[in-house]
Amino acid sequence: MISCKLVGLSRSYRSDIMKKEKEKVVKSMRKMRLYKREIKDKHILREIVAECDVVRIGAMDQEGMFIVPVNFGYEFLDDGDTERLILYFHGAPEGRKAEAFEACRQVALEMDCGHRLITGDYTCSYSYAYRSIMGNGTVERLDSDEQKIYGLTKVMEHMACGAAIDFNRSMLERAAVYRITVESFTGKERS
């Protein structure tokens, strides 16, 4: 259920949000218009996440919508029928991002990789190759040292694989570590 603070939003917009809240907002991603570019193979989806260095997180606060790019760590949890993507990242314990996540735990996310210019015979036939993941999820701040160490370890494993990992207590106290449970996501490729 969305826990967004609706201060500063128009009455009709607040009404729409409340209606969606009752219907459980995040059910699944909209069908992709260019379905031939959709990636459904879970091995390729995992490959894309592994290749990406930055996830862009879309959030909303009283000032409006905003996007925050962060480095991340991840894991895939497989419960048989479905595979769940979990993202971890860290930041300051105060500021716009921290306040927005506290006020509204629902976020959108995007990551992309494999960038390459596709040249054409004329100006409008140029394009760009990429592979991407888009999704929706719920963000939460991790509180215990054990949770923080786990999340930060995932970040280090992804961003600095093989680096020595040793967290000191004062650093753990100052850091805000977050986990996004991705409820739905899609992959797309333009080659």
Span 42-64, pLDDT tens digits: 999 999 999 999 999 999 999 99
pLDDT digits (tens, 9 = 90+) for 118-142: 999 998 999 999 999 999 999 999 9
134, 182 contact by CB (below 8 A): no
Q: What is the pLDDT along the chain (191 residues), one digit of tens a residue?
A: 344 554 455 555 545 544 444 344 445 666 766 667 789 899 999 999 999 999 999 999 999 999 999 999 999 998 777 789 999 999 999 999 999 999 999 999 999 999 999 999 998 999 999 999 999 999 999 999 999 999 999 999 999 999 999 998 898 999 999 999 999 999 999 98
Residue 185's beta-bridge partner residues? Answer: 135
CATH code given to domain 11-190 = 2.30.110.10
Amino acid identity of residue 99, one-letter, is E
For 6-44, give one letter per residue: b (16+ CB within 10 A) or e: beebeeeeeeebeeeeeeeebeeeeeeeeeebebeeeee
Distance CA 129, CA 177 (A): 33
Distance CA 45, CA 184 (A): 13
Locate the domains of the chain by residue range: 11-190
Residue 141's closest CA among 128, 130, 151, 127? 151
Predicted TM-score (pTM) of this structure: 0.82
